[in-house]
Chains A and B, each alone.
Chain A
Amino acid sequence: MIRMLEQVVGPVLASLLTIMMLSYIIGDNAFFRLACFIFVGVASGYAGAIAWHHVLWPGLGEPFVQNGVSTLTDPALIVTVVVPLVLIGLMLFKLSAATAPYGTLPLALMVGIGAGVLVGGAITGTLIPQSMAAMTTLDPRAVAPQTGETGLERVINVIILLAGTLSTLMYFRFTATRSASGETRRTRLMRIVASGGGFFIALTFGVMYAGALAAAVIVLAERVQFLAEVVVNMLGRL
């Protein structure tokens, strides 16, 4: 049954939905909107199902089923099961504006923990390593591990890389002084460096844009290929 569905019904259904979605090329229409709403409904339903099966039930439901009432007496279970359950219950109060204040505690916990993770990871995973990497590139003894260039070529590359890094950082620095006439303007040096940073940023975004375009083209090709295969299969079956 499922196999038949996967081989016949599924592809046809997928093809129809693909065409409905691609109809936006012509213009906004009801098929496109219908396809979008179907997508949101299916995606949200699947996300809810997998969140329950893989997180909520194993973390909160199964312990209650396995341990029963002792869940309320075991300190470990209280900490790992009962308290999160209560916190999730408090989060339900956020659904209503009148009771929203009662759901502040779990949100405060999530925000605090998330902020700690974010700050810790940014410092230890990006700020320090990338800064170190930028500094160590000036070592003339260093060889580009991946690219393999050495000597002048590498020095020039490193200089350009450093210049790009610093100028990009300066581009996002908007501290300025107020002149006697009341005009707020950065210093001349800062303006020159920031303009260089803008050049590097445009370069980087151009690369990212090309990459995104390439990825989208591949997906488009995949979709067209899929449609072609379905058509061929259907024609073959006929």
Chain B
Amino acid sequence: MAAELRCPMCSKLNPPGAEECGFCGARLRPLVVGGEPEGSRISADGTDDGAEASDWLDRMRAGSGADEFEENAPEDEADSAGSPDWLGRLREVGPSEEGPPPGEVPDWLGTPKETTAEAPGEETGGAELAEVPDWLSRVRDRQAQEAEPAWGAEPEDGGAEGQEDWLARIRDGGIPANAGPALPPLTPDSAVEAPTPGGRPSPDWIERGERLGAGDSIEPVEDSGLAWDIQSGTDLGWLEEVAPAEGSDLAQAGPAAPPREGWLAELETPSDELPEGTGEEAKGVEPAASWLGNAEIAVERPFTGEDEEIIRPETGEADWLKELEVGADEPSSWEDRGQRKIWETAGEGGLGWLAEYDASVGKKPDEAGEPTPEGEQLEPGWLSEIRAPDQVLPSEPEAVVPAKWEEAAQPERTPAGELPHVAALVFGAQEPGGGAQTPDIDLSSLEVELPDWLGEHKAAPAGGEPAGPGGVDLAPATLPAWLEAMRPIATFRSVVEVAEEEEQALESAGPLAGLRGVLMAEPVVAMPRAPTIGAAKLEVTERQYAQAELLHKMVEEEERELPSADRRRLRLPLVRWAVSAVLLMAVILPITLGIPSFPLPSQVSRDLKPLMALVNGLPVDRPSLVVFDYDPGYSGEMNAVAGAFIDQLMGRGVPVVSLSTRPYGPALAAGLLDRIASGRGVPAGTGYLHLGYLSGGPTAVQIFAAAPQDAVRQGFDLPADAEGQAVCGGWDCPILSNVHRLSDFSMVAVLSSGTENARTWAEQAHPYLGQVPLVMVLSAGAEPLIRPYYEALEPQVNGILSGLPAAVAYEQANQLPGEAHARWNPFGAALMAIEFMLAAGVVYALARRLLRSGRAQRG
């Protein structure tokens, strides 16, 4: 399968045959003069995709012998192990980013015959290869210290000069043996190695690029400051078009070539053993180009559009590039974060190769419609996006104003015939040899070995002199403040020259209006849009804020660990114990010891006589209905009070029929009636009968009052014969033979412990009673609310018996002492104790209140 192409803008993989990136729209291949570039293309899997190579470097190579590159490509691949990070980030450069248009060879790279074909004004880079440029030397020295690459560092002084030297050597073909770097493999921790002794580092960077295009994948070194992304079919752009012939020419260079300096040389040999004129030159490979091969250097810096000084790598074999290990290097951090890398080519002179780029890419929306001026050199989208809006890519090399860092890294323009200046990776570091020029890039922090030409590239003069007619300096990159703040790698922070706030372009449209240094957005992205529904500003009132604060406090309180509560002191129920003790003593003493003994009531209540008279006047041929509607808990009192009443009834021979609207009533009735009847000798079934349970409450009373026989179907504890069979079933018993309605009873007596049941019978049954008296035998607590039914001109209750004193009096009147008499003494003693306790409580409360009020008045 053909290798996929990696977009230089967004670093995403694209199909092999794609011209533009499907994600961001950038061109995957730089536009070159003269058609599609030929040659190999670095792909993700490292396979060589020769059919896709279309950059200008390939075209140049084709003219100067591409075979060498192809031959050396495998070697480079094999030697790629341990390559620096920056090489690992070699990425494909789209056609728009590549060098000169097809057919047009940059001056600095072309042969003398090619040089003549250059347009005037183009930057030409031709470095004298007779000596190692100063900047390269400085880089090499710095590499020896294994300093981190510092972005934005001022290029070393004389870097441009040194850069021009090796580029010139490439162009002239007389590249000394040590002109090009013979760089060892780039590894994260690898130091710049000295070129191989006795060998001039061959500029095999082009070859390596081919090899990489054939399948190599160089992973950038972490924090190297350089991003070499040559994965997945990376188009190496101009690097591929470095004429192999140049490399061959370079390979033939004699030992007179000055030793390569700086990181390039260090890549060839150990840092302190960089011989001159060794390395790749001995291998006959143009040293300046060898280390680059087909790779591209992606420099993490904003493209200012002023980088017209391009350092063209020398062709030839580069040992360091050979050792680039495919995939060995880890991606750089900023690459992972998707930061775009600008492709920066070292070169001199103008940026003619940019002319083919789409000028509309990266422009603001209002600028997108502007036609591309004739002859205006296009620039890649990525390039224009990071370039400040007010920085225009000059159509003429002379108009290019390099960025500050580039200016610092390019102290002087590459003279004609020399290799173009390559912006140094590190700024700020002063070369040991002094000089006004500072390297473009401070490679001291780089942990990788860089080509000499790149490391010793001298920064432009501080004044930022524009490139002369013969050369173009890449302006130092400037980062806006906000982007600088986003820089994740602290190592680059100190060397990256942050553009001044005032110099940065001011965004005038979109949500970032008013900010400086804003990256150019796509027209569609930058189109102002109406905010979404949720984008409205939240207005919080004071009340809401207070509520939110309250909620926040509540949540905090929930999360707060509360200290364990102190064990509460056990509170003894002393009052309860005291009261219980007094009551129990008051009850036990009369029962056990018979003391105290209270006199029986001498006065009979006014209610007792009418009741007794009523009972005494009942007919004996008609049964009396006794409703047992009290709870078993009140049986102690009710049995004592009702017992006297029922005893009188049975004593007179009045048949008694029991009924209950409560589930436990029949059992209570059975117990009481059976006991009294047994004492009176009254037979069951004739003397008394239990009708049982009637469910429904008021409804049951209503239906019983209206139709008694329809309400009750089953009797309770019916009399049985000797065989145990029920004598009668209830309504068929003789005692109820003449009873069909409620008014057929002689009397209706309701035994109730509560007000509700008594009131229900008074309300529901009264309309159906007629002249039948209704008697209430009540608990002492229910009497107050039933008495109104009794005390009326037309009373609904005809008789009322309530409380133990009344029962005792009733028993006294009947002269039949019963349970009421048995309860009298304990009842009296307990009541007396209660009276004293209540009185004591009242007195204590009053006294305390008076004392407190007195203290309050005094105090």
**A residues bordering B, Cβ < 8 Å?**
25-27, 43, 46-47, 50-51, 53-55, 57-59, 62, 113-114, 117-118, 121-122, 124-126, 129-130, 132-133, 136-137, 139, 142, 144-148, 204, 207-215, 217-225, 228
Contact = CB atoms under 8 A, between A and B. Distances in A.
24 contacts: A27-B573, A54-B692, A117-B764, A118-B698, A121-B764, A130-B792, A133-B794, A145-B793, A145-B795, A146-B790, A204-B785, A208-B785, A211-B780, A214-B780, A214-B781, A217-B827, A217-B831, A218-B636, A218-B827, A219-B634, A219-B636, A221-B587, A224-B584, A228-B588
A136 B827 contact: no
Interface in B150-199: none
A46 B635 CA distance: 17
B699 A114 contact: yes
Contacts of A51: 663, 693, 695
Nearest to A147: B606
Contacts of B767: 124-125
A125 B763 CA distance: 4
A218 B823 contact: yes
A46 B664 contact: yes
Contact of B698 (A121, A133, A213, A217): A121
Interface string B753-797: 100000110111011000000000001111111001111111110
A54 B693 contact: yes
A208 B763 contact: no
Contacts of A219: 633-637
A137 B702 CA distance: 29
Contact of A217 (B782, B796, B830): B830
B713 A222 contact: no
Residue among A121, A130, A139 with max Cβ neighbours from chain B (10 Å): A121
B791 A146 contact: yes
Contacts of A121: 698, 702, 760, 763-764
Contacts of B694: 54
Contact of B804 (A53, A54, A218): A218
Nearest to B590: A221
Contact of A148 (B606, B640, B702, B714): B606
Contact of A133 (B667, B762, B792): B792
A126 B763 contact: yes
Contact of B792 (A136, A211, A225): A136
B183 to A, nearest CB: 80
B46 interface: no
A212 B803 CA distance: 10
Contacts of A27: 573
B791 to A, nearest CB: 6
A2 B834 CA distance: 41
Interface in B130-158: none
A125 B794 CA distance: 12
Contacts of A139: 793
A222 B781 CA distance: 17
A232 to B, nearest CB: 9
Contacts of A215: 634, 637, 753, 779-781
A224 B782 contact: no
A221 B698 contact: no
A46 B782 CA distance: 26
A191 to B, nearest CB: 25
Given A114-B699, A218-B636, A218-B637, A146 B764 contact: no
B781 A212 contact: yes
A133 B714 CA distance: 39
A225 B577 CA distance: 20
Contact of A25 (B577, B591, B713, B788): B577
Contacts of B663: 46-47, 50-51
A126 B834 CA distance: 35
Residue among A47, A211, A221 with max Cβ neighbours from chain B (10 Å): A221
B858 interface: no
Interface of B: 573, 576-577, 580, 583-584, 587-588, 591-592, 606-607, 610, 633-637, 640, 663-664, 666-667, 692-695, 697-699, 702, 713-714, 716, 753, 759-760, 762-764, 766-767, 779-785, 788-796, 802-804, 822-823, 826-827, 830-831, 834
Contacts of A126: 759, 762-763
Contact of A224 (B587, B633, B637, B699): B587
A146 B610 contact: yes
Contact of A114 (B576, B698, B788): B698
Contact of B796 (A125, A148, A212): A125
Nearest to B640: A218
Contacts of B587: 217, 220-221, 224
A117 B607 CA distance: 31
Contacts, number: 176
A210 B831 CA distance: 10
A147 B783 CA distance: 16
Q: Which 7 residue pairs spanning A and B have beta carbons closest together? A: A125-B763, A222-B636, A133-B792, A212-B781, A211-B780, A121-B763, A221-B826
A58 B573 contact: no
A211 B224 CA distance: 100
A224 B791 contact: no
A25 B826 contact: no
A209 B270 CA distance: 110
A205 to B, nearest CB: 9
B634 to A, nearest CB: 6
Nearest to A110: B699
B477 to A, nearest CB: 73
Nearest to B609: A146
A54 B714 contact: yes
Given A121-B763, A136-B792, A221 B573 contact: no
B783 A211 contact: yes
A57 B782 CA distance: 34
Contacts of A146: 606-607, 610, 790-791
Contacts of A208: 781, 784-785
Contacts of B831: 214, 217
A115 B695 CA distance: 16
Contacts of A132: 792-794
A124 B763 contact: yes
Given A125-B767, A126-B763, A219-B637, 15 more contacts: A27-B573, A46-B667, A59-B713, A125-B759, A125-B764, A145-B791, A145-B793, A208-B781, A208-B784, A212-B779, A217-B831, A218-B640, A221-B827, A225-B826, A228-B591
A220 B725 CA distance: 39
Contact of B793 (A114, A142, A147): A142
Contacts of A224: 584, 587-588, 591, 826
A214 B804 CA distance: 8
Contact of B788 (A26, A124, A130): A130
B714 to A, nearest CB: 5
Contacts of A137: 793
Contact of B702 (A50, A117, A223): A117
Residue among A51, A114, A125 with max Cβ neighbours from chain B (10 Å): A125
B70 to A, nearest CB: 81
A225 B591 contact: yes
B580 A25 contact: yes
A214 to B, nearest CB: 4
Contacts of A50: 663-664, 666, 692-693
Contacts of B804: 214, 218
A170 to B, nearest CB: 17
Nearest to A121: B763
Contacts of B584: 224
Contact of B803 (A136, A144, A214): A214
A54 B823 contact: no
A55 B693 contact: yes
Given A53-B714, A130-B788, A217 B583 contact: yes
A169 to B, nearest CB: 13
B718 to A, nearest CB: 12
